Structure 1
Amino acid sequence: TPLNSLLSHVNFWIETIQAVTKLTRYVSSSTPSQEINFWLSLTSFVSYSTVD
């Protein structure tokens, strides 16, 4: 049903937003690899969440 589909999308968004807000970024002590992974995760979220 449309309502179930909507609820599924909303729940996915909630889980994804929670995952992104838990990302930590310590610029002064992070390695280049950690910095790259942080930005890739953030970019992945933004690009995936705008597809629907």
Structure 2
Amino acid sequence: MKFNGDPNNALSELRNHSIDMLADVNQKHFDLIKSDKNLSIIAKMDASQSF
């Protein structure tokens, strides 16, 4: 497990396959990740959501 506090660096590592996933995506990077055919976004459920 690797921790990276810099969102720009984390995105770069994700795109060059140095890391396999990001637990939290910076909002400004969401569209970049969504448009990359090599990456997928999987939404997570949090404790504040109810059914």
TM normalised by structure 1 equals 0.26
Bigger helix share = 1
Higher relative contact order by CA 8 Å / sep ≥ 6: 1 or 2? 1
